[in-house]
Structure 1
Amino acid sequence: MIASQMALNVTGQNISNINTPGYTRQRLDQYSFITSGSGLYHSANSASVGSGVMLSGISQLRDPFLDIRFRKEMSSVGSASAILDGLDQLESVINDVNKSGITTQIQDLLGKLNDLNDHVGEKEFDSLVRSSAEALCQLLNTSAKDLETVFENVYNQYTQNVQEADNILKKIQELNEEIRRSDINGDSALELRDQRNMLIDQLSEYMKIDVTYSEENLGAGFSVEKLTIKMVDNKTNKPGATLIDGIYRADLSIAQKVDAAGKPVVDADGKPVPDDLLRLAISELHDSAYQTQLSNTNSQFQLQGLDFGKNAQGGQQTIDITYKDKDGNKHTVSVDFTVEKPADDTPEAIAKAREKTLANLADALNKDATLQGLFTAKATSNGLVMTSTDKGADAATVTQMELAANNTGITLGDTKSIAAVPANTTIVDEGHGYGALESTRQMLTGAGEFRTDGGDKSIRGIPYYQKSLDALANKFATEMNRINTTRPDGTSFSEVGSNGEAVQKQAGNLFTAEGDDPKNPDTVITAGNISISSAWKSGEVQIISSVSGNPVQGTMNDNINRLINVFETSYTFRPSDIIRTNDATFTTGEPKQDNALTPGTELTAHITYIDGMNQEHTVKVKFQSGATAEDTQNNLYAALQKDQTINGIFDMKDNGTTITFDDKAVVPEGSLCNLVTGIAFTDAQGSKTDAFSMGDGAVAGAASGDSIYKGNLEGCYANMEGVLGAHKSTTYTIYETYAAAADGINTSRDSVSGVDLNEEGMNLLQYQKSFAAACRLMTALDEAMDKVINGMGIVGR
C-alpha cells in the first residue's frame, strides 16, 4: 500500500510538471524484500515467499550520453548563431542591392566626369563633379560610421555574453551548495538538479564543456555527488581550464591588456584596458564568498574611495584592520596615520589631500609590526589595496577596515575582498575556445588578410570589412589625387614638364582626410575620414582637363580621360596599401642576366616606391653591367648607395642574391612608411630591357603585400558584398545542420526524460489498481485473522 501510494504521488508530480521547462521525469525505485534465514521450526515442505516491496528512493529518467551529445551540438549552434548575428548586422551596411549606395554613387561620379569631358571649361559641370564626389565621400563616411556602430553593438553583446556565462557559473555554484547540503541530509533534490541541468545546457551554447560527476568523500564512509565542469580546448579537444569543481567556481571576464613588463594597463580613468584580442580570462577557483582560493594565489582586500567632509581638519587618525589568520582566528589591529588637511574646499585641493592621505595610510600599514609580515599595502588613485604576503591556504585575509572615532573629517568608501590577482588567471588563447563567446570575439577581432600580429588570417570579422572599405576609399582618393597632380610621365603639374608642358597652378589634391592640409597632407585617407579637399571646395584647386595645359581641341580633355580611367582600370588591392608598419620591407628577386649583355653596358634602374600618403614615385638610377648577374647586382647596389634620394629614404642591404629596402624613418602608429613596390630596367636608349632583371620582388612585414582583390573600384565593393554573402550563406548552412542535429538529439532526450501524459495515465491506473488490490489483501487478511481468533475452537459449545 505504501509503495503504491508513493508511486501515485510520483506520477502526480510528473503530471503536474508536464509543462515545466527542464523538468525530468521521476521514477519510484522499488525492489522485492525478502528475509534471510529460516525459523527454528521451519518445515522442509513449506515454500518461502518474499516479504513484500521496499522503496530505495526516487530517481530521474535521464540518459547522460544524450546530454553529452546535445551539449556538444549546442556549442556548435551557439558558435554559428553568433557569427550569423554579426554577419546580419554587417549585411545591413555592406549591401547595395535594391538601394542607392556606394556603387550607385561611383557610377554617378563617373557619369558626371563624362559630362565634364563633353563640356570642358564650363564651371557648372565642374561643380556637379565636385558635388557628386562629396556625396560619395559622405556615403563612405556613413558606411564607416555604421560599421563602427556594428562593432559597438557586437562588443556590447560580447561583454553581456561573458557576464551571462559568468552568472550561469555563479548560479551553478549556488545550486551545487544546496544540492550538497541536501545530499548530506538524505534528500535527492531532484528539482534542484533539473535547474542545474538547464543552466549547464545554457552554458554549452557559450563554450564547449566537459561535464563529469564524481563522489566527494566527506569521511566516516559517507560521500556526496560532486559536479565538475571544464572548458574543452578546441585545439586538443581535451578538457582544459576548470570552471566548476563542486562548490568552487571560476570567474569569467575579458582579459586585461598588459604592458611589456607584464603589468596591467589602465586608461586615464583608472579602468582596465581590454586585451587587444579580447580573449577570455578564467580566474582561479574560489568559494562563493571569495574567502577560499584553490590555487596558489594571494588574497586581496580593497578600499575604493576616501571622502573629505567640508572644512576637514586633518590630523592623526586611527584605522582598525580586522583579519583572519591561516587557522581562521580573527584579529584586530589599530594603526595610526596622518590625514592631510586640504588647502581649501576646491576639488583640486581635496584630490591632492586624498592622494597624500592614502600614501600616509599605506606607509603606516606597511610599517606596522603586526601586519608587516602578513600584508603589503599599496595606495591607488582613489583607494588602497592590501595583498596577503603568503599564498593559498597559508594566506591571512583582511575581512574588515573601519575608522575609529575621529574629528579629522574623512570617511571611507566601499571596502571588499576582491578576486584573485591576475597572475593566476588562465587566458584562453585564440583558437582554443569554441562556442558563442569565441565566435563573437572573432567577429570583433578578425581582420583577415589585414591582420598584423601574425595570427590566423582566415578569420574575417568586422575589422576585415572596415579595412576593406578603407582600402577602397584610399585607392580611389590616391589615384584621383595622383592624376590631378602629376602628368603621365610622373612630373608634377606644379613644375614645367619634361616636354615643356606648362605649369598648372590649379592642380592639387582633390581628396584629403577630413581637415588635412591639401598642400602637405599627412593623414592616411580612410573611409571614415575621406573628404574633398578644402582647396577644391574653395576653388583654389580644380580638375585639370589637359595634361599639356593647352586648350587645343583633341588634347583639351586628355587628363579628364585619365580621371575617367580611374573607374575602369584594374588595380591590385593589398593590405599593405593601408597598413604599413615600421617592419615593412621590399626584397628584390634573384638577378638574371643575358649572356649577350656586354660588361660595362649602361643600364638604368627605375625604383618605384609609395610614400606615407600612398603617392607613387619613381627614381632613376644609372649603373653599368658586370660580367655576371651577381657583378651587375653589386654595381647596382653601389649606385643605389650613392643616389641621394633612395639612400636618403631607405636602408638597403645586399643579401648576395637579393637587395632589401627598408624605410629609415620610424613612423608613428596609424601612419604609413615608405615602401618600394617594384624595380624595372631600361637600356641606354630608354627602352625596357630584359637583358638584366631581378624577378618579382616581395613585400614582407606585419601587413601582407599579397593581393586581396584585383579589379576596378566598383568591382572592389562588389567583391566585399560577395565575400560577405558567401560567408553568410556558408555559415547559415552550417547553422541549419547543427540546429537540426541538436533538435533531433533534444527530441531523443525528451523521449527519455520528458513526461508523456498517456504513459503517466497508464501508470496512474496501474498504481491505483495496485493500491486497491493491496487494500483488498489487507481486508482479506483481516477477515482471516478474525475467523482464526474468533471463529476457531468454539464448535460444540
Structure 2
Amino acid sequence: MTRSTFSGFTIAQLAMSASQRALDVTGQNIANINTKGYTRQQVDLVSLNLRGADPTSSNPGSKIGYGVEITGISQVRDPFLDVQYRNQIAKVGTADARQAGLDQLADIFDETDRDALKTALSNLSSSLDQLSSNANNSEFDSIVRSRSQVLLNYIHQKATDLKTTREETIYGLENTDIKTVNGLLSDIGELNDTIWNGQILGNPSLELMDQRNNKLDELAGYLPISVSYKEVTIGSSEKYNYPVVTFNGSNGLSYELTAGEHGENFATFSMEEHKDSDGNPDGTVRISMIPATNYPKGVDTSSLKTDVTDYLKDGSIKGTVDLLNKSGELDDPATDFRGFGYYEKTLDSFVQTFAKTFNDLNGNMQPYTGANVMPSSGAANAMTTNGTQKAEFAFGFSNTIGNFLTGETINFNGTEYTFGDGSAGTIEIGDTLDKSLENLAVKLNTGFASLNVNGSSVPGQWKYSVSGKKLVWTSDSAMASGTVITKDSIKFTDNNTISFLYKANPYNVKNFDLFKTSDGSKKFTASNIKINDDWMNNSIHIISSHDPNAGSTANDNILKMLKSLTDSREFKYEYTKLDSGGNKTTNYISFYTGNFSQCYSTLENNQGIDSSTNKAILDNHVSVVKQTANNKDSVSGVSLDEEGINLMHYQKSFSAAARFMTTLDQALDTLINNTGVVGR
C-alpha cells in the first residue's frame, strides 16, 4: 500500500494544532503566574502512526508517521517534593503552635524589665526586717501585711493570666483549629467528587486539582498526613485516579481521612475537655476522630469514634494539645514538654510552701476561752430573815464578756456540763451570754434544785437574771423568822462549798494563720490564697515570740520568718491519682531545692530556655520548608523566562508547520499542473 499524497497536509495541520494548543497553555501559565497554588501546565504530545505491518507497504526504511497527537494537558509536579513538603509543614505546625503558647507565657513570667513578684518578695523581707526592730508594733505589722498583699496580688494576676491563656487556647483549638480541619476535609471530599465527575466527562479539572493540593498542604500543617493515589478503571480502558488521605498516628497505625468510591467521604474530628476523678474539667483536652468509611452518606458511624490524643505526632493540633496536656517533669510519668500545666503546678506549689511556712511559724497552740472574767465562786445573800424572805445564792457575771464556745465545760459539784448545740445532753449555746446562762440554769435545776441552808436541805430553783447579770438560786419557800444566813451558809447538799469551775476546750486554739483560702478549701493555690480576715482587721498579728516569758521586745519568731525567705527548702508538687483499685492516693514530685526567690527565678528561666529552644527548632523547620517550597516552585511554578522561551519555541514551530503546508501546496501544484504537459 502506498502512502496517500495528501497525508502531508494532515501532518502539517496536526503540527499547527499542537503548536497552537501549546501557545494557549503557555498563555494560561503566564496569566496565572501570581495565582497562589497554581501548578504549571504542559501539553502532552505523542508521535502519531496509524500504520501497522503490511507486506504490500513500502519497505521499512521508508516508513514515516502521520504527525503529532495531543493526548492531554497535565500538571508538572514532583510527588516526592509534595511528600517532603507536607512532612515538614507538619513539623512547622507543631513548633509554631508551641511557640505561640510560650510567647504568651513569656508575657506572664518575664520580669527582666519590670518589677513584679521577685521585687515583692524582696520588699516583704525588708518589712519583716523593720518589724524585727519594732516587735509588737501594729504600724510595722500592717506594713508587713500590706507587702504580703502586694505579693498575693502579683500571684493572683499570674494565676488569672494562666487561666485566661489556657481558656483562650482551648477555645481556639475547638472553634478554630478543629473546625478548620473538618472544613478542609469536607472541601477535599467535595473536590474529589467534582474532579472525578469532571474527568469522566473529559475535563482534566486541573484548576480544581490545584485547589485540592492547596487544601492538602494546608491540612498537613494541622495533622501528619500521607497522600496516595488509587487508580480505578472505568469501562474497558479509561483509567482515573483519586487521592487517599490518611492520618499517620505515632502508634504506627493509619486512619483514613478520605474514603468512598472516589474519596468523596471524609473523616471528622472533635475535642472534649477532660475531667478529673471528681468529674470537674481539669484543663486538659482529648482529641477524637470518626475515620472516613466506604459506607454511604447518612449511615451512623459514631461507634467508630477513636481517641487519637496520644497518637498525634506532628502538626499544630499536636503542638496545642502539648501546651494544654503536658507538664514536663511534673507529669506522672514525666513528659517531653513543659506546657501550661508545668507553670500552673509550679506556681501553686510555690504558694502552698509559702503559706504553710508562714502559717506554721505564726501558729498559736494555746487554747482560748469564749467567755472571759468568769466567776469561780458565789455567795449567799447574808441576812436575818423575818419569816417572809427566801434564801438566795448567786454567781455574778457583771464583768464577764464573750460567750461560751463548743466543748467548753462547767463543773458543778463534780458534775460536768458541756456547752454545744443542745444535742447529746449538751447545753445549747445561745446567741448571747445571757441566753447561754439561761439554758445553764435550766440544766442545773435537773440536778441541783436543792441546796443545804445551814446544814438542812432546802428545795429551790436556779434562774438567770438578765438585768442583774446573776445566776441565782432561790429557795421555794420563805425561811423561818430569825434564820441567820451568812455568805457561807448555803452549800451543796453534801455540805461542800458551791463551786463554779469553767474550763476551756483544749481544741479551741486561737487561729493565728496569716493566710487562708478564699474558697474554704484546705489546699492553697495561686488563685485562692488570701490574707486572713483576722489579720486584715487586726484581730491577730504576727507573733513576735512563742516564749511566754519573753519580753515585749522579743523578736525571735520574726527573725525566723525573715530567715525562712532565704532558707533553702524542698519544693514539692502534690497530686492525687487513682491506684489500680480505683482508690485515691496522694503522691509528691520534688522539683526544686532552694529559697523562694530562686524557685521563682528557676520557673522564669525555664520559660526562657523552653522558648529559645523551641524557637531554634521552629526556625530550622521553617528553613527546610522554605527550601522544599523553592524546590517545588522550581518544578511546578511558572517562570517568565521559561514561558518566554516556550512562546518563541511554539511560535516558530507553528510558523514552520505553516511553511510546511505551503511547501506541500506548491509541490502538489507542480505535480498537478506542470506534470505530463510536454507536447501539448
Residues in 2 aligned to 1:14 and 1:156: alpha-carbon distance in whole angstroms: 42
1:718 shift after superposition: 0.7
Residues in 2 aligned to 1:494 and 1:27: alpha-carbon distance in whole angstroms: 95
Residues in 1 aligned to 2:62 and 2:288: alpha-carbon distance in whole angstroms: 69
Query: Does 2:360 correspond to 1:482?
Result: yes
Tell me if the contact between 1:572 and 1:709 (Cα under 8 Å) persists in the aligned partners: yes
Query: Does 2:297 correspond to 1:292?
Result: yes
Residues in 2 aligned to 1:767 and 1:464: alpha-carbon distance in whole angstroms: 65
CA separation of 1:150/1:229 partners in 2, compared to 1, >3 Å: closer, same or farther? same
1:46 shift after superposition: 7.0
1:26 maps to amino acid: Q
Query: Does 2:132 correspond to 1:117?
Result: yes
1:251 maps to amino acid: T
32-41 or 170-179, which deviates more:
32-41
Equivalent of 2:325, from 435, 438, 445?
445
215-224 or 720-729, which deviates more:
215-224
Residues in 2 aligned to 1:765 and 1:757: alpha-carbon distance in whole angstroms: 12
Query: Does 2:467 correspond to 1:463?
Result: no
* Corresponding residue SS for 1:726: helix
Query: Does 2:197 correspond to 1:207?
Result: no
* Corresponding residue SS for 1:194: helix
Equivalent of 1:79, from 94, 100, 104?
94
Tell me if the contact between 1:80 and 1:439 (Cα under 8 Å) persists in the aligned partners: yes
CA separation of 1:37/1:524 partners in 2, compared to 1, >3 Å: closer, same or farther? closer
1:729 matched residue in structure 2: 612
2:517 matched residue in structure 1: 513
Question: For 1:294-351, what per-residue CA distance to the aligned partner results, in whole angstroms no more than 9, with x for missing partners?
Answer: xxxx63xxxxxxxxxxxxxxxxxxxxxxxxxxxxxxxxxxxxxxxxxxxxxxxxxxxx
1:763 matched residue in structure 2: 646
1:556 matched residue in structure 2: 554
How many residue pairs match? The answer is 524
Tell me if the contact between 1:485 and 1:493 (Cα under 8 Å) persists in the aligned partners: no
Equivalent of 1:26, from 41, 45, 67?
41
Equivalent of 1:253, from 270, 292, 297?
270
1:209 maps to amino acid: I
1:129 matched residue in structure 2: 144
Equivalent of 1:89, from 92, 97, 104?
104
* Corresponding residue SS for 2:254: strand
2:199 matched residue in structure 1: 183
2:416 matched residue in structure 1: none
Query: Does 2:120 correspond to 1:105?
Result: yes
CA separation of 1:226/1:38 partners in 2, compared to 1, >3 Å: closer, same or farther? closer
* Corresponding residue SS for 2:655: helix
1:756 maps to amino acid: S
Equivalent of 2:306, from 407, 426, 440?
426
1:360 matched residue in structure 2: none
Tell me if the contact between 1:35 and 1:51 (Cα under 8 Å) persists in the aligned partners: yes
Residues in 1 aligned to 2:245 and 2:58: alpha-carbon distance in whole angstroms: 59
CA separation of 1:737/1:259 partners in 2, compared to 1, >3 Å: closer, same or farther? closer
1:675 matched residue in structure 2: none
**Higher helix content, 1 or 2:** 2
Structure 2, unaligned runs of 5 or more: 1-15, 370-506
2:544 maps to amino acid: S
- Written as runs of structure 1 = structure 2, the 5 A alignment for 1:208-227 is 208-227=224-243
Query: Does 2:290 correspond to 1:283?
Result: yes
2:660 matched residue in structure 1: 777
Tell me if the contact between 2:18 and 2:68 (Cα under 8 Å) persists in the aligned partners: yes
Q: TM-score, normalised by structure 2?
A: 0.72
1:568 matched residue in structure 2: 566
1:146 maps to amino acid: D
Tell me if the contact between 1:210 and 1:239 (Cα under 8 Å) persists in the aligned partners: no
* Corresponding residue SS for 2:522: coil
Residues in 2 aligned to 1:475 and 1:259: alpha-carbon distance in whole angstroms: 24
- Written as runs of structure 1 = structure 2, the 5 A alignment for 1:353-364 is none
1:284 shift after superposition: 3.8
1:319 matched residue in structure 2: none
CA separation of 1:277/1:515 partners in 2, compared to 1, >3 Å: closer, same or farther? closer
Question: For 1:12-65, what per-residue CA distance to the aligned partner results, in whole angstroms no more than 9, with x for missing partners?
Answer: 011111111111111111111123247786454972222211111111111101
1:716 maps to amino acid: C
1:209 shift after superposition: 0.8
- Written as runs of structure 1 = structure 2, the 5 A alignment for 1:304-343 is none
1:224 shift after superposition: 2.1
1:105 shift after superposition: 0.5
1:651 matched residue in structure 2: none
1:636 matched residue in structure 2: none
Residues in 2 aligned to 1:570 and 1:756: alpha-carbon distance in whole angstroms: 67
CA separation of 1:164/1:535 partners in 2, compared to 1, >3 Å: closer, same or farther? same
Identity of aligned residues (%): 34
CA separation of 1:142/1:46 partners in 2, compared to 1, >3 Å: closer, same or farther? closer
Question: For 1:689-743, what per-residue CA distance to the aligned partner results, in whole angstroms no more than 9, with x for missing partners?
Answer: xxxxxxxxxxxx564x231011111111111111111111111111111111111
Tell me if the contact between 1:207 and 1:437 (Cα under 8 Å) persists in the aligned partners: yes
Residues in 1 aligned to 2:516 and 2:362: alpha-carbon distance in whole angstroms: 13
1:540 matched residue in structure 2: 539
1:103 shift after superposition: 0.7
Structure 1, unaligned runs of 5 or more: 268-272, 300-419, 487-491, 497-502, 517-521, 586-665, 668-700
Residues in 1 aligned to 2:508 and 2:545: alpha-carbon distance in whole angstroms: 10
Tell me if the contact between 2:273 and 2:284 (Cα under 8 Å) persists in the aligned partners: no
Query: Does 2:50 correspond to 1:51?
Result: no
Tell me if the contact between 1:231 and 1:243 (Cα under 8 Å) persists in the aligned partners: no
* Corresponding residue SS for 1:23: coil
Larger radius of gyration: 2
CA separation of 1:473/1:184 partners in 2, compared to 1, >3 Å: closer, same or farther? same
CA separation of 1:132/1:210 partners in 2, compared to 1, >3 Å: closer, same or farther? same
Residues in 2 aligned to 1:37 and 1:148: alpha-carbon distance in whole angstroms: 79
1:94 maps to amino acid: F
2:297 maps to amino acid: T
CA separation of 1:117/1:36 partners in 2, compared to 1, >3 Å: closer, same or farther? same
Residues in 1 aligned to 2:60 and 2:524: alpha-carbon distance in whole angstroms: 106
